[in-house]
Amino acid sequence: MEEVFELIKKEEERQARTLMLIPSENYTYSEVRSALGSFLVHKYAEGYPGKRYYQGNEFADQVETLAVEEAKKLFGVPFANVQPYSGSPANAAVYFALLNPGDGIMGLELSSGGHLTHGHPKITFSGKYFESIRYGLDPEKEKYFDFEKIRELALKEKPKIIVVGTTAFPRTLNWEKFAQIADEVGAYLMADISHIAGLVVGGVHPSPAPYAHIITSTTHKTLRGPRGAIILVTDKGLKKDKDLGEKINKAVFPGLQGGPHLHSIAGIAIALKKAGSNSFRDYARQVVKNAAVLAEELKSLDFDLVTGGTDNHLMVLDLRNIGIDGKKAAVLLEESGIILNANTIPNDPNPPFRPSGIRLGTPAVTVRGMKEEEMKEIAGLINLVLKGKKNVLKEVETLCERFPIPE
């Protein structure tokens, strides 16, 4: 037991003295951590509030109802399910609710910044049991998508679901354009906003709620909640299928999951409540400001950025011009306390385990209170490591000491 707690303490120390720049990682609130370690961890609660299979769920029902109501209010939708264990199971539940094996899922290809669960072929459940239909980025087109080409593909392949969501796309998503295509072919439009949910509720990225039928999202990342996920159905979704919410509920339980993780659901309720505050909106704005400055500073240091910059919380650097692959770069930076990840670039000539790019973002360093000047400093440190092959661990630790992780 002592060994486990020693390792937890070492991880806490590692996080304190390094720069967390992986865009999908963030620091949650102390209240969320308290909920995760609460007595709710003991309780089984298969079913939904008021319709449990076990007794003793009076307070569990109230916790889950709070989380559901906060989600509906925050995103402006009539239905929410807060039980998915994580983002991939949430996406799987949507497919389980609406698709038969062999039906088409149309999603962004992985090398262009899509996600494995958006129909990536062969190696994922979404591409193995359903027809995989891929669209990609086109840097020459407005908003980096060739919407006429995507429309022609959709008309030809007739997907049952069109997924719009990214893990490494640094620009604003045009929900309306994708909705027009989905409506024309009769497909469901599913917006996976796992990366940008905090930016959406913070008012610095357009919401998909008026355009999509279904919205999925993790609750960590920019939302700063615990590991978990939510599935939302919009007014447009219920207009297309009045039973859509019930179908999703049944797909989550008993279709794919057993008892919900009530301690995580309590943490989700807390994070969603906080995300509706003015302070959270200030945070979201600063995340985007920081990302813009970091991107521009890296460009000034002759780094190539996919799409030339960023509109959101992340950026992808194409490292081919400096003669290093993404994996080697990520390892070098980790040795200096700068934590980010190797990442593919569109039409990447390198294999996935040694891609040409790296991905980095500003959600976590913004939580620590860092602003524009610190972003310039971070860009300079990255430059020293990747071009000068200099270890800057001491400089990183000094910066982290100036901006400790909030309690």
Phi, psi torsion values for 161, nearest 5 degrees = -135, 135
User: Which is catalytic among the residues 25, 46, 103, 138?
Assistant: 46
User: Which is catalytic among the residues 17, 44, 72, 146?
Assistant: 44
Contact 83, 255 (CB under 8 A): no
Per DSSP, the three-state class of 214 is: strand
Catalytic annotation present for 241: no
User: Which is catalytic among the residues 192, 297, 318, 395?
Assistant: 192
Catalytic annotation present for 218: yes
Going by DSSP bridges, is the β-strand pair 131-135/314-318 parallel, antiparallel, or unpaired?
Answer: unpaired
Of the candidates 48, 403, 364, the residue with the CA atom closest to the CA atom of residue 220? 364
- The DSSP secondary-structure symbol of 61 reads H
For 93-129, what is the HEC assignment? HHHHHHCCCCCEEEEECHHHCCCHHHCCCCCCHHHHC
Catalytic annotation present for 61: no
User: Is residue 194 exposed (0-12), middle (13-18) or buried (19+ Cβ within 10 Å)?
Assistant: buried
User: Which is catalytic among the residues 218, 307, 310, 366?
Assistant: 218
Going by DSSP bridges, is the β-strand pair 51-52/338-339 parallel, antiparallel, or unpaired?
Answer: unpaired
Phi, psi torsion values for 341, nearest 5 degrees = -135, 150
Contact 202, 70 (CB under 8 A): no
Going by DSSP bridges, is the β-strand pair 341-343/357-361 parallel, antiparallel, or unpaired?
Answer: antiparallel
Please enumerate in sequence order all residues whose Cβ is within 8 A of that of 358, keeping only pairs 6 or more positions apart, or say none: 316, 317, 319, 326, 329, 330, 333, 340, 341, 342, 343
Catalytic annotation present for 348: no
Q: Facing residues of 314 across strands?
A: 361
Tokens representing 353? 């385990």
Catalytic annotation present for 221: yes
User: Which is catalytic among the residues 17, 33, 227, 289?
Assistant: 227
Residue 310 region, left (φ>0) first, then alpha (ψ -120 to 50), else beta? beta
What's at 388, amino acid-wise? Answer: G
- The DSSP secondary-structure symbol of 49 reads T
Catalytic annotation present for 222: no
Cα separation, 67 vs 222, whole angstroms: 17
Tokens representing 18? 């390094």
Positions annotated as catalytic residues are: 44, 46, 192, 218, 221, 227
